[in-house]
């Protein structure tokens, strides 16, 4: 089973603990208006879950995954069970806001968050701070309520995202 890979970054210091090789998989079921990798959105990443697990069976290195969590529960459970570490994105706590800014409901994401919290697998919650959208005190307080005392990283907004869209000849959704 083949993985659909967007690109590979060696000596990565930002994606998981330690120094690691980061494999960026192609595809995403969300359409975040601030996405800085819009060219990789075309399919579904955890739909590559079986290919990820197939790779897991062949390598014995420490393996982490970052996921938006939008996946069927059964697949999500199987994939994280094969990981040593999970970075899990929570962007917006309010369902209507999530739908508005990412194109999908956050219900599956919040359900899988519970499965992750119950799993005993080390994890880190990540939230991109998008000005006026995800960085509001209301949203951040609601996320804190959802994740309890779990480890949480808040990521600064990438101001270069509009440049990427311009290079692709696309309109930046947050510029509308
Ligand atoms: S920012 Fe949103 S749309 Fe872009 S890759 Fe991440 S989850 Fe997918």
Instruction: Give the residue whose CA is nearest to atom 4 of ligand 1.
Output: 35
pLDDT more than 90, % of the chain: 54
Look over the chain and give the mean of its residue pLDDT values, rounded to a whole number. Answer: 88
Q: Domain-by-domain residue ranges, the chain?
A: 5-14+23-32+43-171
Distances (CA, A) of 69 to 58, 116, 132, 137: 24, 10, 23, 23
> Residue 30 Cα, ligand 1 centroid: separation in angstroms?
6
Q: The whole model's pTM is what? A: 0.88
For residue 45, what pLDDT band results from cuts at 50, 70 and 90?
Answer: low
Q: What is the mean pLDDT of residues 8-29?
A: 77
Query: Mutation test of ligand 1: which of 65, 67, 68 has the most ligand atoms closer than 8 Å to its C-beta?
Result: 68
Dmax (CA) of the chain = 46
Write down the CATH superfamily of domain 5-14+23-32+43-171.
Answer: Aldolase class I (3.20.20.70)
- How many of the other CB atoms lie within 10 Å of CB of 99? 14
């Amino acid at each position: 089973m083949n993985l659909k890979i967007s690109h590979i970054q060696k000596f990565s210091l930002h994606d998981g603990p330690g120094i690691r090789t980061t494999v960026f998989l192609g595809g995403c079921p969300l359409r975040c208006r601030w996405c800085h990798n819009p060219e990789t959105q075309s399919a579904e990443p955890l739909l590559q879950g079986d290919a990820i697990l197939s790779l897991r069976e062949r390598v014995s290195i420490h393996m982490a995954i970052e996921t938006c969590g939008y996946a069927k529960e059964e697949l999500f459970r199987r994939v994280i069970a094969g990981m040593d570490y999970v970075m899990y994105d929570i962007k917006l706590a309010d369902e209507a806001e999530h739908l508005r800014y990412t194109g999908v409901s956050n219900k599956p994401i919040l359900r899988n968050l519970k499965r992750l919290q119950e799993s005993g697998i080390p994890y880190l919650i990540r939230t991109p701070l998008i000005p006026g959208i995800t960085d509001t005190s209301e949203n951040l307080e609601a996320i804190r309520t959802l994740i309890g005392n779990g480890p949480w990283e808040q990521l600064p907004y990438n101001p270069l995202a509009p440049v990427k869209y311009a290079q692709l000849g696309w309109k930046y959704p947050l510029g509308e």
